[in-house]
Structure 1
Amino acid sequence: MTDSSRPEGRVLDAGALRALAHPLRVRLYDLLSQYGAQTASGLAALTGESTGATSYHLRALAKHDLIREVEGRGTARERWWERPAGAVTLVNPDLATTPSGRAVMEAVHSETLTLRQQQLMTFVTHGWDDDEAWLDKSLISTASARLTVEQMAELADRLQSVITETVDRYRDQSGDDLRVVTMRADVFPLPLEGGPR
């Protein structure tokens, strides 16, 4: 973190990262993050999995405080689950010092980024069927520039600041004309010229 615009949040420990290192758990965690509280049966319908499987994986996530049961909502037969608000980082510097720790972080990152790419490709292939206003106001942009590490950090902080401000302002907004919008910012150096391809 190089600037206060980057959200401070929970750094996941080894147990939480291991709990998250499963494709269905990443998907469940993401759905709760994006769409809010859900039941195991609702998540089963969204993922095509059985209610038993989603219940099992929800409990595994809850055991590590990645999600929690919504107090005062639901019944003994149908519990509601939510992801607590706040930033979470999937990079734990202490775990990066061991091969097993790096492997766990890589597994979680791989599943998370695979899911993000699937969402992007779904938009690219099916977005044309959507309301034209939503399509016209969407943005998929790629650009390259030669930057120093300090300039790259400044750019990342500025992008994160805009994302954080937007999330803070509109997170709990309600209304009929709203949809969940995903926000991505990718800033990273490319290999050096002539380097490995």
Structure 2
Amino acid sequence: MSDAPAPHPAPTRRMDARSLRGLAHPLRMRILELLSLDGPATASRLSARLGENTGTVSWHLRHLAEHGFIEEETGRGTKRERWWRRTAERHELRISDFRDDPDAHGALSVYLSELVRQLFSRVMTYVGEDWDATWRAAGTIADWRDLRLTPAQLMALNEELTAVVARYARVADDAPAPDALPVVVQLQSFPRRDPTATGDDA
């Protein structure tokens, strides 16, 4: 699991328990999301969007910077108003790394819950907005519920889908069209318990 599919080659940092605890806070994750989606911002700009006190946002910005998630955009702003941006690193989280670390379970739960909330919120924002017919027809919300796959097949499926996103990202970087808009691609693929299974190996 990672913070987003990685269409571009970028340095990857595998999150450990310390960095997980540094990020696993709803407000910090929301700040990082805004910097990721909308680019650099100051504490005052972020506080206005989040409805939070500027001092509180500044504290969380420093905390994110301490753990390497964001960095100051040097050469911009003033001593009193600093600009922050997300670092170029891609952060990869593997749940299995924390299976035997009970001290990290609380942070992992917060992180996953907030991540799911963010993904849901993006979809609901899109559904509630007024898009013209062309963009409305181009977007999609779909799911497939009749697959039966092995773990290896599910991993292969995810890798193929990520490769497709990467191909379109390269095209957009090489020749961005004048009518192009930012697009979010969300992928959730996971097993579910088989209600017909008895769980009895005998």
TM-score range, shorter chain: 0.7 to 0.9
Mark the runs of 5 or more structure 1 residues left unpaired by the alignment.
Answer: none
1:23 to 22, 26, 32: 26
After superposition, what is the alpha-carbon deviation per residue over 1:50-82, rounded to whole angstroms, capped at 9, x for unaligned? 211211110110011110001211111111101
Q: Letter of the aligned partner of 2:51 in structure 1?
A: G
Q: Report if aligned partners of 1:6, 1:161 keep a CA contact under 8 Å in 2.
A: no
How far did residue 155 of structure 1 move?
0.6
1:181 aligned partner, one-letter code: V
State the Cα distance separating 1:167 from its structure 2 match.
3.8
CA distance in 2, matches of 1:6, 1:179: 18
The residue number in structure 2 matching 1:158 is 160
| Structure 1 partner of 2:4 | none
SS of aligned partner of 1:33:
helix
Could you tell me which runs of 5 or more consecutive residues in structure 2 were left unpaired when the two chains were aligned.
2-6
1:85-104 pair list within 5 angstroms: 85-91=88-94, 93-104=96-107
1:111 aligns with 2:118: no
2:71 pairs with one of 68, 76, 97: 68
Counterpart code for 1:15 = R
Question: Partner of 1:135 in structure 2?
Answer: 136
Q: In 2, distance between residues paired with 1:179 and 1:167?
A: 12
CA distance in 1, matches of 2:89, 2:133: 32
Alignment match, 1:187: 189
In structure 2, what is the Cα distance between the partners aligned to 1:17 and 1:33? Answer: 17
Equivalent residue number for residue 151 of structure 2: 149
1:132 is matched by which residue type in structure 2? A
| SS in structure 1 at match of 2:73 | strand
Distance 2:167 2:74 in 1: 28
CA contact (8 A) 1:44 1:50 kept: yes
Aligned-partner residue type, residue 97 of structure 1: D
Could you say what secondary structure the match of 1:97 adopts?
coil
Structure whose CA Rg is larger: 2
Maintained 8 Å contact 1:12/1:90 = yes
In structure 2, relative to structure 1, the CA distance for the partners of 1:168 and 1:113 (3 Å cut) is farther
CA drift of 1:151 comes to 1.6
Query: How high is the sequence identity, in percent, across the aligned residues?
Result: 37
Separation (CA, whole Å) in 1 of partners of 2:81 and 2:51 = 18
Q: CA deviation at 1:141?
A: 0.8
Q: Between Structure 1 and Structure 2, how many residues are aligned?
A: 191
